[in-house]
Chain A
Amino acid sequence: MIRLHDVHKEYARSGLALNAVSFELRKSEFCFLTGHSGAGKSTIMRLIHMAEKPTRGEVRVSGYSSSSIRPREVALLRRKIGYVFQDFRLLEDRTASENVAFAMEVTGVRPAVIRSKVGRLMAKVGLAAKAEAMPGELSGGERQRVAIARALAHDPLVLLADEPTGNLDERATWAIFDLFRSINTSGTSVLLATHNLDLVRKNTGMRVLELDHGSLVYDSAVDGKT
């Protein structure tokens, strides 16, 4: 479903960010993407999201290739990709449910569908009771749940989570991780970028990709489990 083949990414100012990275993420797979800060995790996320193009090599997502995708197709592809960030990126002047609804409003979903779906999503992330709260009234963990509900608005094939627990305490971290596991169980692939090695070590059965200075140095699917 997602395939990176010999991907290089070089920036004019900061130099080489990715060096000959190749891997494949299959449907319904849960995969950790680890590495130190600046190793290239976020760059991989942005390449999969087609926010950037590789300098060399190819990124294929759900049949679309980075070398031939058109701008309108990028928008359509992004509806199949949920994206969650460390800093939540919620609109502060809208309620939790309005933030979730926004993702559907701007892609032309009918209001009746939006209303029923927002309720389901808020329940799914355990925030039905706080649907009308403003982001400022929510804890970090709750804000991340709103962001996850928004990422699920279009029933994505894959959920990209870029350091989603970076701003959370341990309890909230595990609660969010459990939510990702539950989403994955229902068939959505999850690619979770993190430098929280504790989280990775305690989930030994899952696939791990490790980056170091832009190179993929370890893939548990190829190199064996840790």
Chain B
Amino acid sequence: MAHSVREAVNAFRRAPLLTGLSAAMIALSLFLLGLFGVVAHNIRQALERVEARVEIIAYLRDDADPTLVQAARTDIASYPEVRDVLHVTKEQALARAREDLSEFRTIFGTIEENPLPASLDIALRPNQQGADAVRAVAERITSLYPFVEDVRFGDEWLDRVYLLRRVAGAATFALGTVFAIVAALIIGAAVRISIFARREEIEIMRLVGATEGFVRRPFLLEGFATGIFGGMLALFATWGVYRAASSRLFDLEWMPPEWIIGGLVAGTLLGGFASAMAVRRHLREIG
């Protein structure tokens, strides 16, 4: 192992420009991925904030039995999709309308009979499986409780929110895959150049009886090290751009630590995997 580490370090020393260029190219790919990560994280945060406001309002009949309403409230609160259930009485609904709809304050102040129904305001947990899941909860409430007169949950805008979320998820996956492939190709090319630069050395290693594992190891280490180095460079560059953008343009959130660790680990593994593939292929080429 000592020889492999020494040879991997020597490869950096012998061709610092080439190795630096490889790391820079990997860093560029991972940097783009990092920038996209910041954007994706912020889109996700924004969507979660919108999702947190997803609500089902179950309007109750005026003759609904308060005991049954209370039982239904407890029952609905136990649904896995539900975060909170609030019982809004007719009086509370009127007070809320007076406050929220100031232009109708005069009308609401003069009416003799309260026309607004009582309701159960059901707040849902974020990360639901789309508008259909919300619709299913609404339908369950309608079918189970006869004293529920009507259910509203704004299905049209909800459909759009979930569509946006799906598009953002698919775009993250697609761009992540594309950048990972680009990074792998760059690492592969760097390893190829390194193998050809050390072609004579490899021939002699084989000539004197070095095992294939021994021949490959320094290149694999080089790939891992380039991946780590490129990943660190990308991280610093992404942080710099994030700082600049969030102080001058938008109020952005930095990526969660598990994303950063995951990115570095993925970059390193990608480096190792790409070099393993390149070593396997190009060592065969040189005989």
Please report which residues of chain B, range 199-217, place their CB below 8 angstroms from some CB of chain A when the two chains form the complex: 200-201, 203-212, 214-215
Q: A78-B206, A105-B3 are in contact. Are A89 and B211 (CB under 8 A)?
A: no
Q: Which residue of A lies closest to B205 (CB)?
A: A106
Contact partner of B211 (CB less than 8 A), chosen from A49, A72, A105, A150, is A72
Q: Please name the residue on chain A nearest to B287 by beta carbon.
A: A51
A42–B209 CA distance with the chains assembled, in angstroms: 19
Q: Are A91 and B207 neighbours in the complex by a CB distance under 8 Å?
A: no
A89 in contact with B203 given A105-B3, A106-B3, A106-B214 (CB within 8 Å)? yes
Q: Is A196 part of the contact surface with B, judged by Cβ < 8 Å?
A: no
B201 near A91: Cβ-Cβ < 8 Å: yes
A106, B200: Cβ atoms closer than 8 Å: no
Q: Which residues between 50 and 77 of chain A lie within 8 Å of chain B, taking CB atoms? A: 51, 71-72, 75-77
Complex interface: chain B residues within 8 A of A150 (CB): 208
Q: Separation in Å of the A222 CB from the closest CB of chain B? A: 31
Count chain A residues whose beta carbon lies closer than 8 angstroms to a beta carbon of B: 22
- How near does chain B come to A106, taking the closest CB pair, in angstroms? 4
A104–B207 alpha-carbon span in the complex (Å): 12
Chain A to chain B contacts (Cβ below 8 Å), 7 pairs = A79-B209, A91-B200, A93-B14, A102-B208, A103-B204, A107-B208, A107-B210
**How does the 8 Å CB contact mask read for B182-224 relative to A, with 1 for contact and 0 for none?**
0000000000000000001101111111111011000000000
| B208: min CB distance to chain A, Å | 4
A124 proximal to B (CB < 8 A): no
Chain A's closest residue to B198 (CB) is A91
Asked if A154 contacts B212 (CB within 8 A), the reply is: no
Taking the closest CB of chain A, its distance from the CB of B207, in whole angstroms, is: 6
Against B, the Cβ 8 Å flags (1 = close, 0 = not) of A142-179 are 00000000100110000000000000000000000000
Nearest 9 Cβ contacts at the A-B interface: A78-B209, A79-B209, A103-B208, A106-B210, A75-B211, A106-B205, A75-B209, A107-B209, A105-B3
Complex: A93 Cα to B208 Cα, angstroms: 18
Residue pair A91, B204 in contact (C-beta under 8 Å): yes
CA distance A11 to B287 in the complex (A): 15
Determine whether the beta carbon of A89 is less than 8 Å from that of B200.
yes
Nearest residue, chain A, Cβ from B210: A106
A83 CB within 8 Å of chain B: yes
A105-B3, A106-B3, A106-B214 known; A89 vs B209 contact (CB < 8 Å): no
Q: Which of A51, A72, A79 sits near B208, CB closer than 8 Å? A: A79
Q: What distance in Å separates the Cβ of A188 from its nearest Cβ neighbour in chain B?
A: 15
Contact partners of B215 in chain A: CB under 8 A: 106
Instruction: Establish whether residues A78 and B203, one from each chain, have CB atoms under 8 Å apart when the complex forms.
Output: no
Chain A residues near B203 (CB, 8 Å)? 89
Bound-complex Cα distance A91 to B207 (A): 13
Contacting residues, chain A, for B212 (C-beta < 8 A): 71-72, 75
Residues of A within 8 A of B209 (CB): 75-79, 107, 154
**Residues of A with C-beta under 8 A to B287:** 51
Residues of A102-126 contacting chain B, CB below 8 A: 102-103, 105-108
Task: Select which of A49, A79, A102, A154 is within 8 A of B204 by beta carbon.
Answer: A102
B13 to nearest A CB, angstroms? 11
Nearest residue, chain A, Cβ from B215: A106
Q: Which residues of A contact B208 (CB under 8 A)?
A: 78-79, 102-103, 106-107, 150, 153-154
Q: A78-B206, A83-B207, A106-B208 are in contact. List 7 more A-B contacts (CB 8 A).
A: A75-B209, A75-B211, A91-B200, A105-B3, A106-B3, A107-B208, A154-B208
Contacts of B3 in A (CB 8 A): 105-106
Q: Which residues of the other chain, B, contact A75 by a CB distance below 8 angstroms?
A: 206, 209-212
What is the distance, in angstroms, from B159's C-beta to the closest C-beta of chain A? 59
Q: How far, in whole Å, are A226 and B210 apart by their CA atoms in the complex? A: 41
